[in-house]
């Protein structure tokens, strides 16, 4: 397992997390007290099938020779119906020899925040985080699978859904929950598969495959347990040329992931819907 100390301070990480980019105005409208029955673009009610997902985040880099096996493991996890697997490419492995084209400093800062919240010893790649509550090296398949297997549906946590509407619009709904943890509703825009011929660094000469590569992570709105409805255009997230939009509610300061939902922007309006609730590890 390779490790490298990121070139930023704790103060920088906390500042980045505290500056929320709330989407307002025409992009997002919040409506309280909405009806719980989903309605499609043509006015017909949809029967959604509830499915429990576990969010698995992989922190990886094309500059790390230990990362390809973890990338392959994430690809396996992405095939599971009970997992939403996302790949976050960090920037602290970037050198003059090779710049990971999918890396972003904000993803490095998010991983750094997990170091503080999960009390890990240091920041490293590859690292997987399960449901915002458990971290392990990305190559430890048994540990990660065990963490996923031990997640259970939470009682008293918000239901979250995302649906494609007419005119390239997306609607997100969140149910009301008493005594809920305060947090943030995030949207992750991602591409399902990327192939890259690496021409420098530790993976020089290799063609790497990366799955569910996050292009941007946007804080949509704060969450406090109230029922909410968000409406925005796919183009507002620059997602028309992307393969998916995942939304999730996470407790403050990269805490527990409370709810997750996933949608393909290319889906037929009101047809592809994935509704999920909390899966929280209860690890030994």
Tell me the per-residue pLDDT of 108-163, one tens digit each, with 9 for 90 and over. Answer: 999 999 999 999 999 999 999 999 999 999 999 999 999 999 876 555 678 999 99
pTM for the structure as a whole: 0.78
Lowest mean pLDDT among 13-22, 137-146, 208-217, 223-232: 13-22
Range with the lowest mean pLDDT among 83-87, 98-102, 111-115, 154-158? 154-158
pLDDT digits (tens, 9 = 90+) for 30-72: 332 222 333 333 332 333 335 678 999 999 999 999 999 999 9
Query: How far is residue 160 CA from its own chain's centroid?
Result: 14
Mean pLDDT of 88-108: 97
User: In sequence order, what DSSP letters do the residues of the chain get, joined into one string?
Assistant: --B---S--HHHHHHHHHS-----TTS----SS--SS-B-TTS-B--PPB---EEEEEEE-TT-TTHHHHHHHHHHHHTSTTEEEEEEE-STT--SS---TTB-HHHHHHHHHHHHHHT-S--BSSEEEETTTEEEETT-HHHHHHHHHTEEEPTT---EEEEE-STTEEEEEE---TTPPPEEEEEEEEEEEEEEE--SSTTTT-EEEEEEEEEEEEEEEEESS--EEEEEEGGGGT-TTSSEEEEEEEETTT--EEEEEEE-TTSPTTT--BBB--EEE---
From CA 261, how far away is CA 73, in angstroms rounded?
21
- Parse the chain into domains and list their residue ranges: 10-281
Name residues whose C-beta falls within 8 Å of residue 237's C-beta, 6 or more positions apart in sequence.
187, 189, 216, 218, 245
- Considering only residues 177 and 101, tell me which one the structure prediction assigns the higher pLDDT: 101
pLDDT in tens, 238-279: 777 888 999 999 998 789 999 999 986 455 333 233 333 333
């Amino acid at each position: 397992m390779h490790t490298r100390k990121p070139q930023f301070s704790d103060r920088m990480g906390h500042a980045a997390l505290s500056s929320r980019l709330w989407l307002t105005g025409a992009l997002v409208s919040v409506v309280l007290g909405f009806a719980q029955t989903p309605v499609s673009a043509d006015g017909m009610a949809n029967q959604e099938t509830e499915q429990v997902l576990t969010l698995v985040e992989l922190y990886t880099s094309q500059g790390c020779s230990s990362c390809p096996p973890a990338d392959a493991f994430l690809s396996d996890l992405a095939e599971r119906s009970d997992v939403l697997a996302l790949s976050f490419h960090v920037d602290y492995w970037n050198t003059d020899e090779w710049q990971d084209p999918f890396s972003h400093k904000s993803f490095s800062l998010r991983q750094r925040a997990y170091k503080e919240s999960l009390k890990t010893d240091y920041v490293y790649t590859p690292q997987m985080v399960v449901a915002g509550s458990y971290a392990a090296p990305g190559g430890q398949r048994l540990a990660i699978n065990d963490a996923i297997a031990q997640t259970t549906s939470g009682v008293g946590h918000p239901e979250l859904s995302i649906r494609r509407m007419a005119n390239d619009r997306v609607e997100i709904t969140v149910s009301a929950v008493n005594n809920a943890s305060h947090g943030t509703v995030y949207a992750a825009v991602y591409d399902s598969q990327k192939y890259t011929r690496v021409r420098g660094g530790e993976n020089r000469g290799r063609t790497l495959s990366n799955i569910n590569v996050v292009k941007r992570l946007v804080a949509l709105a704060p969450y406090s347990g109230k029922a909410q409805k968000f409406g925005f255009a796919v183009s507002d997230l620059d997602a028309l040329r992307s393969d998916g939009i995942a939304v999730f509610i996470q407790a403050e300061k990269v805490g527990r992931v409370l709810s997750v939902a996933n949608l393909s922007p290319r889906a037929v309006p009101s047809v592809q819907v994935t509704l999920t609730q909390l899966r929280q590890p209860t690890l030994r």
